Amino acid sequence: MGEAAKASGIALSLHAPYFINLANPDPESLKKNTGYILASCQAADWMGATRVTVHTGALMKRTRREALDIALKSLREVMAVCDGEGYGHITLCPETMGKINQLGDLDEVLELCQLDERLLPCIDFGHLYARSLGELEGLEATVKMLDRVEELLGPDRASRFHSHFSKIAFTPNGGEKIHLTFDQEDFGPDPAPLMAELARRDWSPTIICESAGTQDVDALTMKGLYLDCIGKKAL
């Protein structure tokens, strides 16, 4: 896979197991989670992937602050183990999560990334839209979110963040319900404001399309929107 991707000019990244919860204080659980992330780094290394996305976790009836403090401690420990095993060159990317009772709004993920200069946020814009019950979409919200990333991580890291994008349906109480395709109009977010703003800032994040089964078509739509903004013809 690594060789084929390289030959085609495709940058690979890897998603660590979905059930990882950095906010679980149980030492056995931390040991297991560290093992999963270490194995993810090893697989990433085999195929030349440079980034591993990691879920931040669940609140488990704790306050957001308590859960975040546990996750900070866990992530520090995970990084020490990964460094010790020779995977310091793999970039870990804590992800913004879509459900309200999960740790991982934008500020929480940015605080996790302040632990170490090598960390990059995985900003899932669909998740942020879903957990804010539709508030975080449109140009004004996009500008604010990207400004916040730059404010807390500095212009260099901000310009190369990791990202997932899809439309996501939400429920009024919980947030994320289900991923959608760009053709489905009931929910957002609309990809156009993000593409315009990235082009305006001349940033180069990695954006992974996570549409429900239409990743190929919708990724090309985003690429087209972006190229339109920088004044080149799509494809």
The residues that touch Zn ion, with contacts defined as CB under 5 A, are: 95
End-to-end CA separation in angstroms for the chain = 24
Q: Which residue's CB is nearer to Zn ion, number 129 or number 196?
A: 129
Report how far residue 213's alpha carbon sits from residue 180's, in angstroms, rounded to the nearest whole number.
Answer: 8
- For residue 26, give both structure tokens: 């149980």
At 51, phi and psi to the nearest 5?
-130, 140
Q: Which residue's CB is nearer to Zn ion, number 157 or number 179?
A: 179
Q: Which residue's CB is nearer to Zn ion, number 56 or number 214?
A: 56
Q: Which residue's CB is nearer to Zn ion, number 16 or number 194?
A: 16
Q: Which residue's CB is nearer to Zn ion, number 96 or number 221?
A: 96
Closest separation between CB of residue 55 and Zn ion, Å? 6
Closest separation between CB of residue 18 and Zn ion, Å? 6
Among 41, 60, 61, residue whose Cα is nearest residue 51: 41
Closest separation between CB of residue 7 and Zn ion, Å? 27
At 113, phi and psi to the nearest 5?
-70, -15
Strand ranges for 145-226 from DSSP E: 162-165, 168-171, 175-179, 206-209
Query: Nearest-CB residue to Zn ion?
Result: 95
Closest separation between CB of residue 127 and Zn ion, Å? 8
Residue entry with tokens 């399309």: 209
Amino acid at 157: R
Structure letter (DSSP) for residue 207: E
Closest separation between CB of residue 116 and Zn ion, Å? 20
State the DSSP H helix or E strand holding residue 53, giving kind and residue range, or none if neither. Answer: strand 51-55
Distances in Å between the Cα of 70 and the Cα atoms of 43, 58, 76, 200 are 26, 11, 10, 37
- For residue 139, give both structure tokens: 């140009």
Q: Which residue's CB is nearer to Zn ion, number 95 or number 137?
A: 95
Q: Which residue's CB is nearer to Zn ion, number 34 or number 163?
A: 163
Closest separation between CB of residue 186 and Zn ion, Å? 22
Among 197, 187, 191, 183, residue whose Cα is nearest residue 224: 191
Residue entry with tokens 């991580």: 153
Closest separation between CB of residue 54 and Zn ion, Å? 8
